[in-house]
Copies of this chain bind each other. A is one copy, B any other.
Amino acid sequence: MTKLVINKLCIIGVGLIGGSLARALRKAGVVKEVIGAGRDEAHLKRANELGVIDTFNTNLADAVIGADVIVLAVPLGAMQRVMTQIKGYLSDDAVLTDVGSAKTSVINDAQTVFGHLPVNFVPGHPIAGTEQNGVEASFAELYENRRVIVTPHAQSNKTAINKVKAMWQACGADVVEMNPSHHDEILAATSHLPHMLAYTLVDVLARMDDSQEIFDFAAGGFRDFTRIASSDPNMWHDICLANHDALVPVLEKFSDELRLLADAVRKGDSDFIKEIFTRAKQARDKFCND
């Protein structure tokens, strides 16, 4: 296996995720030059001052010229626009990847923009992040011991797949390969649905008459439970829409089960309630030891 060397890495969207990737690859010593690209010049300047990127360009077409790896680290709703801007400017052997939280939609975007699925396009998704955003929050260790799911499409080329995997491994991540639609189902269940529940809960309480008092009496469990409701609303709007095929069924499944629980509480059906709570506690204790 040849050691990974990236001569020119182009990160489009230098925020928490893109910025941390640049920092991690620099720290690992596998990248020679990092160019940042995006719409906001002041933001790119800041990333440059922080030493996250070497140069920057607000013209995406210019930014990708000569890059051997291009990472799309923009919100899911911006993928198609960004692909359209870089189309025709990528080197023949340039590897294109992304970090979106939904994978089928990004593959559909590529099909729409390029008219086919580029063989060097290998979608990916690092399961990492915080409720913080922006390049200021980025750090080189974000991906250490975290899962990164790489979801090649049917035409993805083996060399490109290996390069994307090697890039994330260089960041200290545990890389797994998965079918794109299976990725979307798993993430809908473990990530997208919980965000919907947390946002809905906080919104319901915030709109109650005595909302200030309600929040005053919230204890530690509530803070933990609602932490993800502090995530970026625009980013999560995009994820919801991009992954709606996988999300809607789990939302409906959850709603049905919650209605059954509400009925059981109304009727005082102890056996039903205890069965749910006990099974949930056993599963939670088994998979998380905190």
Does A28 belong to the interface (CB within 8 Å)?
Answer: no
Does A111 belong to the interface (CB within 8 Å)?
Answer: no
Does A118 belong to the interface (CB within 8 Å)?
Answer: no
Assess whether A262 is in contact with B248, with CB atoms less than 8 Å apart: yes
Assess whether B259 is in contact with A255, with CB atoms less than 8 Å apart: yes
Binding site for B on A (CB under 8 A): 127-129, 146-147, 149, 185-187, 189-191, 193-208, 210-211, 213-219, 221-234, 236-237, 240-241, 244, 247-248, 250-255, 257-259, 261-262, 265-266, 268, 270, 273-274, 276-288, 290
Give A240 to B190 CA distance when docked, in angstroms. 25
- A214 and B189 in contact, given A231-B281, A258-B255 (Cβ under 8 angstroms): yes
Q: For A222, what are the chain B residues with a Cβ–Cβ distance below 8 Å?
A: 190-191, 194
Give A240 to B248 CA distance when docked, in angstroms. 28
Partner pick for A224 among B225, B236, B237, B285, CB 8 A cutoff: B225
Q: For A225, what are the chain B residues with a Cβ–Cβ distance below 8 Å?
A: 194, 197-198, 224-225, 227-228
Give A213 to B199 CA distance when docked, in angstroms. 25
